[in-house]
A and B are shown apart, each in its own frame.
Chain A
């Protein structure tokens, strides 16, 4: 069997059995169900907004906790504790070992998001809103954002400890999100031209947080709650547009770059 498949399967199995990963998944699902219960007591657009904003909050907050924790454990502690060394001494190239460990963590992240998205779809149907395709697309958008966080944390974990890796990765994601917001402000001409060149350059280079059509529309109405407060710059309301397919592909390419960088950086690290 392919060594990446062997390592990713073992890593995913081990993580799936740990209490913290199960707890994050269950708590997230419980909050989505609670949102549906609250939404059921309301009517029309208010019910739809409640269901969507509670679910979006889970995707953002619980998703960040899950992705940062998964990515931050890719190398550091297991490399110092001997587990990564055991995988390397089987003759598996170091690059392959790290890629397998990242893929294993991605499998857990995807599995948890699939469960949350399914729970949200069932809850939406139960309160009479159908499967809610917009919320489904938002789930996929947030999954991509969290893959970005996971791969950034994985890269950090080659050199930093788990806590520092997780924090740096979350700050990295917030920076990518801020860049998207600032670019929207540049396009709306609410930022001085002196800054627009720098912001545009950074926007073109760095990965971009993905904004779904649902979040963009709710943010404009200030109805997205924790998941996306209305953006106001220089007393102007800025509408953050939904990400284009080019942005989706660009950020995915960055995820691949971060994962490969983690694997290549690991080649010279001392391990136990």
Chain B
């Protein structure tokens, strides 16, 4: 099992309201799971819980380790939502940094940029079109052929569906979250719908 999670809970402040509660996930190698829901329903929080970014509650195991374990994170490809890059950098530099920190070379970064279809990899991130920014985010996730792809609000480019298919074909698992599912439910096979942080 790539992800086994029972009763995921996320609170952003100690003693504060639950952002997410009661979410269970079983995701095995070579399979996919899509989390859907309105904006603010807790989809991204579930992904952050799985990655160990949001200090989750519940019983969660990712690739056999607790969420946030550095050795496990090296096996995960992460494509955050919106515009997560520091201004001043070029798209290629962003992906090369992700590659270098994950123990990969510049050639793997270039390959990921190509796979994601980034048209202007040498543009500064603040000058990118939204579409190229989303592709750059996807490229960051594809570096080094990870065992688990986590995609937050992936735009459904042909390169996105091709990357998801290729990942699942080689035995990687894919966890994605979006408010606009399009053709992703059919591609990923299973889905959970969240309403105000709880499944249903």
A residues in contact (CB < 8 Å) with B: 1, 3, 6-7, 10-11, 13-18, 78, 81-83, 85-93, 268, 270-272
Contacts and interface: CB of A to CB of B under 8 A. Distances in A.
Contacts of A90: 73-74, 98, 101-102
A82 B81 contact: yes
B55 interface: yes
A7 B101 contact: yes
A87 B51 CA distance: 12
A14 B70 contact: no
17 contacts: A6-B97, A10-B89, A14-B87, A17-B124, A82-B81, A85-B48, A86-B84, A86-B140, A89-B73, A89-B78, A90-B74, A91-B70, A91-B102, A92-B70, A93-B70, A270-B54, A270-B55
Interface of B: 12, 44, 48, 51, 53-55, 70-74, 76, 78, 80-89, 93-94, 97-98, 100-102, 124, 140
Interface residues of A, dominant DSSP = helix
A14 B53 contact: no
B53 A271 contact: yes
Contacts of A3: 101
A90 B51 CA distance: 10
A15 B88 contact: yes
A89 B54 contact: no
Contacts of B81: 82
Nearest to A100: B101
A6 to B, nearest CB: 5
A268 B124 CA distance: 32
A88 to B, nearest CB: 7
A98 to B, nearest CB: 14
B98 A17 contact: no
A112 to B, nearest CB: 15
B98 A14 contact: no
B113 to A, nearest CB: 15
A7 B168 CA distance: 31
B12 to A, nearest CB: 5
B180 to A, nearest CB: 19
B104 to A, nearest CB: 10
A17 B126 CA distance: 12
Contacts of B74: 90-91
Nearest to B84: A82
